[in-house]
Amino acid sequence: MHTIDRDPLLLTPGPLTTTLRTKQAMLHDWGSWDSAFNRITGDVCGQLVDIVHGTETHVCVPLQGSGTFSVEAALGTLVPRGGKVLVPNNGAYCARIVRILKILGRDVVELPAAEDCPIDPVAVEAALITDPRIGHVALVHCETGTGVLNPLAEIAAAVERQQRSLIIDAMSSFGAIEIDARTMPFEALIAASGKCLEGVPGMGFVIAERAKLEASAGNCHSLAMDLHDQWVYMQRTTQWRFTPPTHVVVALHEALAQYQEEGGVVARGARYQANCDALTTGMARLGLRPYVPAQAQAPIIVTFHAPEHAAYEFQAFYQGVRERGFILYPGKLTQIETFRVGCVGALKPQDMLHVVEAIASTLTAMGVLAAS
């Protein structure tokens, strides 16, 4: 068995395993009004907009909290109080957007799809044609409840043809899968520090069209979640309105430096794809099947069918793999028993081979797999 002399590696969609450099960036204290910290915030926001080539049209608004905070802030700020939103739904995080919109009092139209299939752009466009009151489409790019990658470019084109606005939940794809604001129109893109950029959790951000953000004053239901107010204040003072997650911001600043050193979105995505390939190939040798068809699988997280064996029990399986140095993720599906293995973070294909070894060893100890 692989010798464990470190913290367990996180095989989750966030928080992720981070590098030593990123951890070390958090060893200093920062003043929230200090000009040095404010320059770091500005640099981080500029780099985030650059990743989607949106400097001419978009701005970045950071927000304290998890990614879901920023999803709610974007919907509450950019969708007018009388607005109506189409939500293509093929998983748990799409369903969360539906729930947020209902709580916010925004009209929502749900477009259901199978959890193991990508959203159909034709169905999205048909729904927009049918209901001219729909002003926005809120799309989860990578549905990490299952690992399905939805066809963003095609859906963005359909939304543009119907002259509506697109809000992208790119929580698990930003930084690893190319999104170009110059060729793929969107009103807002939402992501977070602790995902594919390999920072630590605690800060979300919204990359929004400047003109749409400027026009959104008064929409928001909340003071803390008001992206327009946050952006206006930061433009005027360079400071956050309320106490910022200082250590998270400087860790992200360091993570972005490493992101550029690695080669940006192309290199990051290629490493994750190599991780995914090593994982699925190894798991196939154990007889463990992915839930999502290969053509719809994102290289971010893979959902596997649980072994159909009387001796299998997830908590025992989870604990056994953890003792061998890896933290897995439970499945999000309700009708089918599954578990998930993330391919993102400061991991390489060799790490994924060790994951497979740990899974094989655990299942053998449980009596699910025969000893070789």
Q: Write down the residue that tokens 């192309």 correspond to.
A: 266
Are residues 131 and 99 part of one domain?
yes
Q: Tell me, yes or no, whether 22 lies in a domain.
A: no
Are residues 216 and 250 part of one domain?
yes
Query: Which of 370, 358, 346, 349 shows the shortest CA–CA distance to 321?
Result: 358
Q: Is the peptide bond before 293 cis (omega within 30 degrees of 0)?
A: no
Is residue 75 a contact partner of residue 87, using CB atoms and an 8 Å limit? no
Strands, E assignment, 39-106: 58-64, 84-89
Last residue of a domain, one of 228, 261, 294: 261
Strands 338-342 and 301-305: antiparallel
Q: What is the pLDDT of residue 185?
A: 96
Last residue of a domain, one of 261, 296, 331: 261
Question: For 172-224, what is each residue's pLDDT tens digit?
Answer: 999 999 999 999 999 999 999 999 999 999 999 999 999 999 999 999 999 99
Query: Which of 321, 348, 287 shows the shortest CA–CA distance to 4?
Result: 321
Q: What is the pLDDT of residue 2?
A: 41
3-class SS shares of the chain: helix, strand, coil, % to 5: 40, 15, 40
What residues make up the domain containing 136? Answer: 30-261
**Positions of the chain with pLDDT under 70:** 1-5, 372
Are residues 125 and 268 part of one domain?
no
Is residue 36 a contact partner of residue 185, using CB atoms and an 8 Å limit? no
Q: What is the pLDDT of residue 333?
A: 80
Phi–psi pair at 203, nearest 5 degrees: -140, 125
Are residues 273 and 352 part of one domain?
yes
Helix (H, G, I), strand (E, B) or coil at 153: helix
Are residues 188 and 76 part of one domain?
yes
Is residue 62 a contact partner of residue 41, using CB atoms and an 8 Å limit? yes
CA-CA distance, 40 to 241, in Å (whole number)? 16
**Domain tally, the chain:** 2
Q: Write down the residue that tokens 């299998």 correspond to.
A: 312
CA-CA distance, 220 to 80, in Å (whole number)? 8
Q: pTM of the predicted model, to two decimals?
A: 0.95
Q: What is the pLDDT of residue 288?
A: 97
Is residue 164 a contact partner of residue 137, using CB atoms and an 8 Å limit? yes
Q: What is the pLDDT of residue 4?
A: 45
Last residue of a domain, one of 216, 240, 261: 261
User: How many helices (H) and strands (E) are present in the chain, helices listed first?
Assistant: 12, 14
Question: For 250-287, what is each residue's pLDDT tens digit?
Answer: 999 999 999 999 999 999 999 999 999 999 999 999 99
Burial class (CB in 10 A: 0-12, 13-18, 19+), 331: buried
Identity at 22, one-letter amino acid code: T
